[in-house]
Amino acid sequence: MRLKTRTPEVLDRIIHERARLSILSALAAAEELSFPEVQGITGLTDGNLSVQLRTLEAAGYVALRKSEAGGRSARTAVRLTQAGRRAFRGYLEALRRIIGKVRP
Amino acid sequence: MHPEQAEDQLALIRATMERTTRFTGLPGYSCLIAGALALAGAGIAALLGAEFPARGATGGRHAALAWIWGAVCLAGAAQFVVLSVLAAARQGRSAWSHLARRVVVAVLPGLYVGAALTEFARRSDRLDILPALWCLGYGASLLGLGLYAGWKANVAGLLFLAAGSLALLGAVPGGNLLMAVAFGGFHVLLGTLILAGHDHAPENPDA
């Protein structure tokens, strides 16, 4: 006879880090955001935001798009990919399950 | 992971998403200037004796009215755009952000209805109800703005709707007096509320 056991929730470690979680949360609420907009919302420094975006891009969770802005330096726009949206949703569900386990 | 940590993560997600959809690009000074322009317009109209004609009345200074309120409308819109762009540049962000685009989409229906009803009133020779119609259209636009800008825009929007409705029903005077009270007074109130408010700095996940 097999016993039913509770499996521990597996959280996506890429999303779990708070800086990256705040970036994905902002992108989940907007179709596309510019680099300064993400910075303004999350409060991350230039360097930290660049590093976190590269990590998220390598995981396939965000897509970066550079565009020339009227002869000035390139502007970077960031958006969630389908994989990123799925992963974010999965992370949210995992959090809710963890909270739900202790609620009556 | 402990449930408390999960709650913290959810709170961070909620706060960040709210911040992403909160429009803070409405300059308080711009509302004060818009109010001052409307009060000046009402004053000039009174000096020139250009009042919105009563229903069925003949004559009147229609051209002067159109020039005065057309100029107030254009000057108000122009200073709003310029001040918004300057405020955004000072904060190092684009005035044409994803949120600004959403706000424009939210306010356009009210402005369109106001414009369409203006044309209807003009063709029906009902210039007397124009201030009330403008209040209703503008109030609806402000409520659209309030979806992103919060309660201050909602309060102003509701005041415009109330003033327009009461004027349309004849419960309060219309004409230049309504323009002064609504487009002058309510804008000054909105600007004062915005300037008196304090926005909290975003939580820094670096910390």
ipTM of predicted assembly, 2 dp: 0.84
A4 touches chain B (CB under 8 A): no
- Kindly state whether B3 is in contact with chain A, defined as any CB-CB distance less than 8 angstroms: yes
Task: Give yes or no for B7 touching A (CB within 8 A).
Answer: yes
Q: Is some CB atom of chain A closer than 8 A to the CB atom of B101? A: no
Which is higher by pLDDT, B56 or B132? B132
B chain contacts of residue A30, beta-carbon cutoff 8 Å: 20-21, 98-99
Q: What is the pLDDT of residue A100?
A: 83
Residue B40: count of CB within 10 angstroms of its CB: 16
| Interface contact A16, partner B, CB < 8 A | yes
SS3 content of chain A, % helix, strand, coil (to 5): 55, 20, 25
Q: Which residues of B touch A102 (CB under 8 A)?
A: 3
Residue A40 is predicted with a pLDDT of: 87
- pTM attached to this predicted model: 0.76
Closest residue to A42, CB basis, from B6, B9, B202: B202
A71 pLDDT exceeds 70?
Answer: no
How many C-alpha atoms does B91 have within 13 Å on its Cβ side? 19
CB atoms within 10 A of CB B138: 23
Cα separation, B63 vs A88, whole angstroms: 59
Measure A26 CA to nearest chain B CA, in Å.
5
Least trusted range by pLDDT, from A5-14, B9-18, B90-99: A5-14
Single out the residue of B93, B99, B202, B26 nearest to residue A37, CA to CA. B93
Distance of CA B128 to the CA centre of its chain: 22
What residue spans define the domains of chain A?
13-98
Query: What is the C-alpha separation between B178 and B183, in angstroms, rounded?
Result: 8
Report the sign of the C-alpha dihedral through residues B154, B21, B197, B87, in that order: negative
Is it true that domain A13-98 has CATH number 1.10.10.10? Answer: yes
Nearest neighbour of A42 by CB, restricted to B94, B99, B205: B205
Amino acid at position B89, single letter: A
CB contact under 8 A, B98 and A32: yes
Q: Residue B26: what are its φ and ψ, rounded to 5°?
A: -95, 105
pLDDT digits (tens, 9 = 90+) for B139-156: 999 999 999 988 999 999
Rounded to a whole number of angstroms, the distance from the CA of A52 to the nearest CA of chain B is: 11
Q: How confident is the model at residue B202, as a pLDDT?
A: 42
Q: Which residues of A touch B203 (CB under 8 A)?
A: 43
